[in-house]
Structure 1
Amino acid sequence: MNTIPRPEYPRPQMMRDEWLNLNGEWQFEIDHGRSGKERSLYAPEAALQDRIIVPFCPESKLSGVHYTDFMDAVWYKRVFTLPAQWNGQRIWLHFGAVDYDTEVWINGTAVGTHRGGYSSFSFDITNTVVPGDNVVAVCAEDDVRSPLQPRGKQSERLHSHACDYTRTTGIWQTVWVECVPLTSISSFKLIADPDNGCVHLQANVAGDTNACVLEAEASHRGRPVGSSAAILSGSSLRLTIPLDEVCLWEPGHPELYDLQLTIRRNDAAIDSVQSYFGLRSVKLDGMAFRLNGKSVFQRLVLDQGFYPDGIYTAPTDDDLRRDIEISMNLGFNGARLHEKVFEPRFLYWADRLGYLVWGEYANWGLDITSAAGLERFLPEWLETIIRDLNHPSIIGWCPFNETWDADGKKQNDEILRIVHSVTKLVDPTRPVIDTSGNYHVVTDIFDVHDYDQNPDTFREKYEPMKHGGPAFVTFPERQAYEGQPYFVSEYGGIWWNPGQTDGHGWGYGDRPTSEPEFIERYGKLTSTLLDHPMMCGFCYTQLYDIEQEVNGLCTYDRKPKFDPGLIRRINTQKAAIED
């Protein structure tokens, strides 16, 4: 039995054979006074006071620590052994995510820092490792109450409350070491082009590229279907791979191609990575959201990526897959990945299962009333886009959610305008919603949040649009509808926790008095959106309960509250806007 938690390869779109998973038991210490550097806790001989199971955050039960008060800083340390066959190659240390300000040492020597609690990062540790045993030390400082730190749904109070939950401090995704050749593929971008039966590749290569060729080979279900090659004349190149078979990636029918990239010098392979891609296009057409030219109604559910025992970290890879399967069984074809950047393994399963997702960021807690907010936000957001843009399951980007004003100061609209513009420059293939709900500045899709629990008044808000009348706009004094595709991206949130008598519960509006009343309300709210010819999608709040928030269709441990067939029949009714 494998005793390493989360043992699977953490970067499924760029896989190599030579790697070490550093998950498992580490030394650990909470540093309330942020004095660890003065005490030289990074030194190889310095022992930390406690133990923790990585990659689970210290607030979680699975970490073995289960400390839920605020922690100004935390320290980690462990020994890893460098395989002898790695000598003479480059060694990289990778972190899936660490919240929030991170510094890393190898054998007592600092190798780098990183800011951002949700994006992945790496350090080249070739010049600091030695043959045999090596000591890695990590310090993470975290302050969710700072207005210059995006916290997402992590509670800024001691305890969870309303729709904010238990915090995550420090390491919360896989830590791993990778061996790469001196000349190696460092990153690549894939652009699907189904209309022309090909995929375009932009690759970056590190090291000496003299006399090198990059080869790309695509296969589908084990059959070779296309290849291309180009001479490397520098550190980057572009090429196109024509495909003999055009098999489209579609929701629920996820055809995927395997891809192998190889660098050769004088016909000898010196580096190779395995990947995959999906062939699909995204286009906005009037009110319609089109995938591969077909109008697809987005039947989405809000997924916040929390787990009872792991908090931000799924206990197993199967748990990531299971959440998608639960959602699809309820008749949803996708999700808003809400106020959190989900790990690549979740996106891998979304790709494999044909599940539509919106890539978002955890912006809550960040003050964007001044340029300081942009300084903090943009680098982290760009890391996220660049890491995840090859996933076919991601159909759009939404960097902000409900950008409320702060301390009497309005949001700086230029921040939203700049972030929208930069996102489109990095990825022109997907629509971008500047801020979900409010306050829109420039957006490809106009979305609103509406938690009206009365089906009649809910429907009345959207009736005028059917007849050429004005669109319903929340906060009309701050935002205006300009004819974009229209999307109710949060609704419902119906409070349902029968049998819970401890008063520990929170949801939207009045709780139904019976299960039939819940189903009737859910059905009428949802049908209003499905029946509307101007709607391109909905997103119901939410898939499962989280701590005190009990408006999930499932409990926190993923048990269905209702007959899934009833929910599925409501969700899968034909939408008015669908072809």
Structure 2
Amino acid sequence: MILLLVALLLGALLPSCAAAPEPYKVLKPPLDTPWTYCAGIKPWTAKYPRPQLRRALWQSLDGIWTFQPTDGRDGQPLPSLPLKQEVLVPSCIESGLSGVQAMGVTTMWFGTRFSVPPPWTSNRRVLLHFEAIDYEATVYINGAKVGSNRGGYTRFSMDITDHVIHHDDSNEIHVYVFDPTDDWSIPQGKQTKRLSHIFYTPCTGIWQSVWLESVPEQRISDLDITADMTGNVTVTIHSNKKQGTPLELSIIDTHTGKTVAAEQLISDQTLSFTVDSPKLWTPDSPTLYNVTVKMGEDEVASYTAFRTISSGIVDGVKRPLLNGEFVFYFGPLDQGYWPDGIYTPPTPSAMLHDLELVKRLGMNMVRKHIKVEPEVFYEACDRMGLLVIQDMPSMRVFDNRRPSDVEQAEFGRQLEVMVRQLRNHPSIAVWVIYNEGWGQITDHHPEFELTERVRALDPTRLVDAVTGWHDHGAGDFHDNHHYAEPQCGTPWYSQPNTAYSPNRSAIQGEFGGIGLRPDNANLWPLRPAVDTINETYEIHAGIESYHYRARTLLRLLREQIERYACSGAVYTQTTDVEGEVNGLMTYDRRVVRIDEEAWREDIRRLFEAASKRRGDGSLVA
């Protein structure tokens, strides 16, 4: 009896064991890809998440975390770890790869435990980085609130050194996430809770990588570097102390290993110097130069490229220029959706698979459509030689309501964050502000002011203020959308587009979109998508007419290049997406729908036609 009482007393005093979370497993998505079941639980851990600011001491936190929905707002008591269910990070909780595959969750917790090597906290600081969480996130370390972020597409970081209690794996991270998707007017791209033909399954949660980094007390916080076709390099090395600290910067030719510049600079000041006869970056020859920066105990590695994006008059026509020459932009609308991962590609090789098809066809560009990708995507474009037209993720406002002043201000703030985050990538050539009027105020024209804000942040690129309609003359492009035939710089146009304005470069922001229903094995089978397949811009009964029509559209585009002022075009699209069956590939990436040989020949002829429009090469900037 006494032993029983002692046992009961000890049981009351000892902490109870939390119930084990539901174990992780890949859930069968409505449609899988060749990578779904072999992705594993750490597909992104080998990739340094920020390739333009690399350090030696870092640790990925990607892998299995735990998750649970909550009905409460942030500020409630933190739930005990582990949470109820294991989840894969990074992933969208709506995806099969997440192990959750839940729709309609608005508020939720994520949690994990982590360790920090003892040397990391010895006269050093520990930074916690999140590459993207959709949409609002509040972060707690060992019970203490350490930071928050709003915006579903861009990175944020925090110094957690003072909150790291242990060096073993008993340190705890809690992340509270709130994601209204399209219940609020926020930058959300094509995500929706109201599934329809051109709006798709949303992405909620920690959908890009999480990682730790050990840094010195005084450190490089960011690096802005541009290098132009003349060899002029303009650089600002930002430091966390902002004290004007001496530093060393080197630029190395990656092919020869030769140091082409070794400069003594000062942090937090914008300085310029010149490199003699640099090799220029182009889609045909995407030459990159390695960069190293040393400031005291801190050393970072990066890269840059010598190239100039501008516009000018070529043979009487306003053109976009690369290194002083008219280069025709041609490539697909690239939405970056995956049937198994939604926003998160199942693996890095899956992500590269899409870009490799684009490059294999002879295209030189992708339009990243109202989504911001992980930085390793842009690094791949830098290295492969693919120009990027980068969209700002759109707001959508329902019930014919204009955005409020608060919503508009937040859209502008997140636009600036995106530009700052991505502006060092040589592949990015154009910033897009508004797509097809979504979230665009039309009783006055804020795109003029936003264009100037983007130019002030990044004067080295062009701005496409309005792709689609509601064009009032802002930015560097006259950009219309027309399906299926192009209307690119032509003396005719269709509503709701506007007449070509010769003071800006003409680009066909979207065209094509011809569709062919795939076999059921390659089709996203959910009813809201299947029921809207016939809303695809042009549906074909069979492969023969599909191939004929594709060649016809590319011929029409070539004729407009030859006759009129067409400077670029975006074909819709890289892959099918849910109910849209108009991709170069099916949504599962298993079937390349187009005739690759015919497309390569037709694309070659597009660029050949554009090269004949260069005239004598005289330019007026």
TM-score, with structure 1 as normaliser: 0.89
Q: Does 1:353 align with 2:353?
A: no
Amino acid across the alignment from 1:227: A
User: Equivalent residue for 1:267?
Assistant: none
Pick one of 178, 186, 207 that aligns with 2:213. 178
Contact persistence 1:120–1:383 (CA under 8 A): no
Residues 48/564 of structure 1: CA separation in 2 closer, same or farther (3 Å cut): same
Residue 284 (structure 1) aligned to one of 311, 317, 329: 311
Partner residue, 2:117: 83
For 1:260, what is the secondary structure of its paired residue? Answer: strand
Matches within 5 A, 1:528-567: 528-532=556-560, 533-558=564-589, 559-567=591-599
Deviations 1:317-354 (A, max 9, x none): 11222211111222321111001011101000000000
Counterpart of 2:163 in structure 1 is 128
CA contact (8 A) 2:115 2:171 kept: yes
Residue in structure 2 matched with residue 312 of structure 1 by the alignment: 343
Cross-structure match for 1:515: 543
1:20 maps to: 59
The worse-fitting range, judged by mean Cα deviation, of 510-519 and 169-178 is 510-519
Partner of 1:298: 329
The count of corresponding residues between Structure 1 and Structure 2 is 548
Amino acid at match of 1:345: V
| Offset of residue 225 of structure 1 | 3.4
**Residues 1:242 and 2:270 aligned together:** no
The gaps in structure 1 that reach 5 residues or longer are 265-269
Letter in 2 for 1:242: T
For 2:160 and 2:492, the matched residues in 1 are separated by 55
Letter in 1 for 2:344: T
* Paired position in structure 2 for 1:324: 355
Q: Name 1:262's counterpart in structure 2.
A: 294
Q: Match of 2:14?
A: none
Distance in 2 between the 1:119 and 1:163 partners?
A: 23
Structure 2: distance between partners of 1:405 and 1:223: 48
Alignment correspondent of 1:489: 509
Q: What are the equivalent positions in structure 2 for 1:387-406 lying under 5 Å apart? A: 387-404=421-438
Q: What secondary structure, in the 3-state scheme, does the structure 2 residue paired with 1:164 have? A: coil
1:214 aligns with 2:247: yes
Give the CA deviation at 1:245.
4.3
Q: 1:560 to 1:517 in 2, by over 3 A?
A: same
> Structure 2, unaligned stretches of length 5 or more?
1-38, 615-621
Q: CA deviation at 1:373?
A: 2.5
Do the aligned partners of 1:91 and 1:126 also contact (CA within 8 Å) in 2?
A: yes
AA in 2 matched with 1:106: I
Provide closer, same or farther for how the CA distance between residues 509 and 311 of structure 1 changes in structure 2, counting only shifts above 3 A: closer
Tell me the secondary structure at the aligned position of residue 114 of structure 2: strand
Q: Alpha-carbon deviation of 1:47?
A: 4.0
Conserved 8 A contact 1:298-1:537? yes
Q: CA deviation at 1:263?
A: 0.8
Give the distance between the partners of 1:174 and 1:401, measured in 2 at CA: 28
Q: Which secondary structure does the structure 2 equivalent of 1:375 belong to?
A: helix
- CA, structure 1 residues 226+241, in 2 after alignment: closer, same or farther (shift >3 Å)? farther
Deviations 1:246-296 (A, max 9, x none): 1011013211100001113xxxxx111000111111121233221112211
- Indicate how the Cα distance of structure 1 residues 494 and 263 shifts in structure 2: closer, same or farther if over 3 A, else same: same
Task: State which of 7, 27, 30 in structure 1 corresponds to 2:69.
Answer: 30
In 2, distance between residues paired with 1:205 and 1:390? 17
After superposition, residues 407-556 of structure 1 pair within 5 angstroms as 411-441=442-472, 442-451=474-483, 453=484, 458=485, 470=491, 472=493, 474-475=495-496, 481=501, 483-500=503-520, 503=530, 505-532=533-560, 533-556=564-587
> What SS does structure 1 have at the residue aligned with 2:183?
coil
Higher Cα Rg, which structure = 2
Quickly say closer, same or farther: Cα 1:479–1:138, change in 2 above 3 A: farther
| Distance apart, 1:231 and its partner CA | 5.0
CA–CA distance in structure 2, aligned partners of residues 373 and 403 of structure 1:
15
Write the deviation string for residues 205-246 of structure 1: whole angstroms up to 9, x where unpaired.
113747x421111111242232243453xx502333432441
Shift of 1:26: 0.7
The one-letter code of the counterpart of 1:16 is R
Change in CA separation of 1:126 and 1:414 when aligned onto 2, cut-off 3 Å: farther
Please give the alpha-carbon distance, in whole angstroms, between the structure 2 residues aligned to 1:397 and 1:302.
14
1:226–1:241 CA contact under 8 A, matched in 2 = no
Instruction: Encode CA deviations 1:419-456: one digit per residue, 9 max, x unaligned.
Output: 111001000111101121121231211100001x4xxx
User: What residue identity is the alignment partner of 1:155?
Assistant: T
Distance 1:277 1:289 in 2: 21
Q: Is 1:204–2:238 an aligned residue pair?
A: yes
The 1:417–1:424 alpha-carbon spacing in structure 2 relative to 1, beyond 3 Å, is: same
> For residues 424 and 563 of structure 1, do their structure 2 counterparts lie closer, same or farther at Cα, with a shift above 3 Å needed?
same
Distance 2:610 2:583 in 1: 27
Determine what percentage of the aligned residue pairs are the same residue. Answer: 31
Which of 98, 110, 114 aligns to 1:63? It is 98
Match of 1:189 among 224, 229, 234: 224
Q: Residue 395 of structure 1: SS of its match in structure 2? A: strand
Q: 1:231 to 1:485 in 2, by over 3 A?
A: closer
CA contact (8 A) 1:216 1:241 kept: no
Match of 1:385 in 2: 419
Counterpart AA for 1:290: L
Q: Which amino acid is the alignment partner of residue 360 of structure 1?
A: D
Once the two structures are TM-superposed, the CA of residue 510 in structure 1 deviates from its matched residue by: 3.9
Q: Distance in 2 between matches of 1:373 and 1:30?
A: 27
Matched position secondary structure for 2:211: strand
Residue 131 of structure 2 is matched in structure 1 by 96
Structure 2 residue identity aligned to 1:534 = A
What is the DSSP-based 3-state SS (H/G/I as helix, E as strand, rest coil) of the residue aligned with 1:76? strand
- 3-state SS of paired residue (2:479): strand
In 1: Cα distance, 2:358 partner to 2:322 partner:
20
CA separation in 1, counterparts of 2:265 and 2:311?
Answer: 37
- 1:55 Cα shift? 0.2
Aligned to 1:137: 174
**Paired letter, 2:433:** P
Q: Quick one: which amino acid aligns to residue 174 of structure 2?
A: A
Could you tell me which of 285, 288, 295 is aligned with 1:253?
285
CA change 1:27–1:237 in 2 (3 A) is same
Aligned-partner Cα distance in 1 for 2:421–2:582: 32
- Report if the CA contact (8 A) 1:320-1:349 is conserved: no
For residue 34 of structure 1, report the CA deviation from its aligned partner. Answer: 2.7
Q: Is the 8 A contact 2:394 2:438 kept in 1?
A: no
Q: State TM-score, norm by structure 2.
A: 0.84
Provide the C-alpha distance between the structure 2 equivalents of 1:91 and 1:247, rounded to a whole number of angstroms.
38
- The answer to whether the 8 Å contact 1:182/1:207 transfers is no
CA distance in 1, matches of 2:302, 2:576: 35
Code of the aligned partner of 1:204: H
